[in-house]
Amino acid sequence: MESDCPTGESGRGGDGGFLSPPPADELMSEHEGETVYIVAQIAVEDWDTYRSEYMPTTFDRITAHDGEVLGASETAEELEGDWAGNWTVVIEFPSEDDAYAFMQDEEYVEVMSARHEAAAWSDIAMLPGFDG
C-alpha cells in the first residue's frame, strides 16, 4: 500500500496514511468536537537531529493548533508488555479537526523528514477522550 506520508515512510505497523483525514463520514463522529489525543512512541537513534531539527518546530506547531503536550519522555516505566521506543509523547487537542490541522500543517510536514531521518521507527495514533 502506498503511503500518504510525504517521505513515503511509516511506523512499524502502519501504512503512513496519517496525513490525510478520512472522509467526514468515517471520522470519530460520536466524538466530534471533543478532546482527542495523539500518542507517539518513537525509537530515536540520532538525538542531535531530533532535538535540533524536529522538536522546536513540532512543539511550536502543536501549540499553534491549540494542542498541549501532556507528557514527553525518554523513559517510560514499562508496566506490562514490551515498550520498545525510547521517546513517548502524549498530546491533547481540543478536537479531531485541530489534531488533523496540526498533522497537515505545512511547517510540520516539512520537518517530519527530520524525524524519519533521526528515528528507526515511529508509531503514532489518535484516540478520543474517555468520558466514562
| Per-residue pLDDT of the chain in tens (132 residues, 90 and over written 9) | 333 343 344 445 444 444 555 554 555 555 567 999 999 999 999 999 999 999 999 999 999 999 999 999 998 888 999 888 999 999 999 999 999 999 999 999 999 999 999 999 999 999 999 887
pLDDT value at position 119?
Answer: 97
**Cα distance between residue 19 and residue 93, in whole Å:** 16
pTM: 0.78
CA dihedral 94, 22, 123, 65 (to 10 degrees): -30
pLDDT value at position 20?
Answer: 53
If you ran DSSP here, which 8-state letter would residue 97 be given? Answer: H
C-alpha cell at 43: 525509537
